[in-house]
Copies of this chain bind each other. A is one copy, B any other.
Amino acid sequence: MNSHATLRVGVLGASGYAGREAIRLLATHKNLRIALATSESEAGASLSRVARGAPDQRMVKLADADLAGCDAVLCCLPHGEAARWSHAALEAGAKVVDLSNDLRVHGPETPEWARGAVYGLPELHRARIAGADLVANPGCYPTAALLALAPLLRRGLAIGPVIVNAASGVTGAGRSPKRELLFGEVAEDYRPYAIGNVHRHLAEMRDQAGGLAMPGAAPELVFTPHLLPVKRGILETIYVTLREPLMGDPAELWNADYAAEPFVEIIADRPASLADAVGSNRVAISVTTVKDVAAPMLIVTAAIDNLVKGAAGQAVQNLNLMLGLPETEGLA
C-alpha cells in the first residue's frame, strides 16, 4: 500500500456540508492526502477551520485551482456548476467523483464525455466503478431507496406503485443561508416538501430502478421527502406490494444479497432508525411483513447518514475502488 501513500486529492467546494465531510474523512485516510481544496466564500482560510483535524492548508478559489496537480478530484460543487469542473478535472488527467445531480441521469442532450460517468453505488455496480475514470455519486435519497429495494427489484417481486416515504435532516439542504432552514423555523417542526412526485431525485431513482428490475417490470415509484429537525440522517419507510407471498423470513433476501458488504447492516428485530447510521458510512435496513392486508406487502426501512453514505463517504468509497485501494479505507 506504500506505493499509494502519495496520491493527491482535490476537493472542489470544500466549505459546504458535503465538502467539509469529505475533508474530515480524507484527513484520516492513509493513502490519500489533500492536495487542493477550493472555496469561493472562504478562500484564504485554513482547512483546519473547515474540519477539525484537517491539515493547516489554505483553501483557494476555483479559478486558482491546480487541477493538474491532483490524481483524483471530489467535485462537491452545486448542481449546475459541478459538471464543467468535473469535466475540467477529467481533462487535466484526474479520476473524478462528482457529487452533484449533474451526471447521474443521461438524456439525449448529455455530452459524450458525461455519458462515460458510472453511477457510483458500489454495492450494485462495484466492478464498473473500479474501472471508471468518472463516477456520478448517487443522491442521498436514491442511495437509501435503491439499496433497500434492490433485492426485490432484481427478482421482479415488487408491484408498483412503491411508496417511498422519506425524511431527511437539514444538512441535506446545504449550507447556504435560507430562511426556511433557520433553527427558529425548523426546530419543533416537521414538514413534507416536493410532494406529489416532483422531486428531482425521482428521475435518478426511476432510471436506476429500471436498470435493476427485470425488463418491463420496473414498478412505479411515489416519493415524498420530509424535512426533519435533526442535523443529519435519512430514514425511508418504503411500502412494497409483492407479486406473490414470500416463503420464510423475507429478510433472507437482503441477508443473501448483502452478506459480504462492509457497509450494509440488516437489522433483524426492529425497524431501522437514524441512530443506526448517523456518523458512519453504513446503510441500515430492516424488513417487516404487513399484517391484515389482502395482498402480500412488506415495509422496508432504510437509514443512512446523508453526508456520509449519502454523499462524502460514498464518494471516498468510490474513490478507493477507482484507485485500487481497500474499499473501507478512511471509512471505518
Residues of chain A from 188 to 203 with CB closer than 8 A to chain B in the complex: 188-193, 195-198, 202
User: Do residues A182 and B184 form an inter-chain contact, with CB atoms below 8 A?
Assistant: no
Residues of chain A from 177 to 232 with CB closer than 8 A to chain B in the complex: 177-179, 181-193, 195-198, 202, 220, 222, 224, 226, 228-232
Q: Which of A4-12, A97-105, A283-291 contacts its partner? A: A283-291
Does any Cβ of B come within 8 Å of A235's Cβ?
Answer: yes
User: Digit string of A267-298 for contact with B (CB within 8 Å is 1, else 0)?
Assistant: 00001111110101010000011111111010
**Which of A188, A220, A289 counts the most chain B CB atoms within 10 A?**
A188
User: Digit string of A288-332 for contact with B (CB within 8 Å is 1, else 0)?
Assistant: 111111110101010000000000000000000000000000001
Residues of B within 8 A of A293 (CB): 160-161, 197, 220, 222
Residues of B within 8 A of A169 (CB): 184
What's the minimum C-beta distance from A50 to chain B, rounded to whole angstroms? 12
Residues of B within 8 A of A224 (CB): 237, 299
Given known pairs A175-B182, A196-B299, the reply for A190 and B290 (CB within 8 Å) is no
Looking across the interface, which residue of chain B has its beta carbon closest to that of A228? B190
Copies of the protein in its oligomer: 4
Query: Cα distance A330–B280 when bound, in Å?
Result: 17
User: Do residues A230 and B187 form an inter-chain contact, with CB atoms below 8 A?
Assistant: yes
User: Do residues B290 and A222 form an inter-chain contact, with CB atoms below 8 A?
Assistant: yes
Residues of B within 8 A of A175 (CB): 179, 182, 184
The 23 listed contacts between A and B (C-beta, < 8 Å) are A53-B332, A165-B165, A167-B167, A170-B183, A175-B179, A176-B179, A177-B178, A181-B183, A182-B183, A184-B231, A187-B230, A188-B232, A189-B275, A191-B235, A191-B271, A192-B273, A195-B271, A195-B288, A196-B290, A198-B291, A220-B294, A222-B239, A222-B299
Known: A190-B235, A197-B292. 20 other contacts (CB 8 A): A53-B332, A160-B293, A165-B165, A167-B190, A169-B184, A177-B177, A183-B186, A183-B187, A187-B231, A189-B273, A190-B230, A190-B274, A191-B275, A192-B237, A192-B301, A195-B299, A222-B239, A228-B229, A229-B230, A239-B239
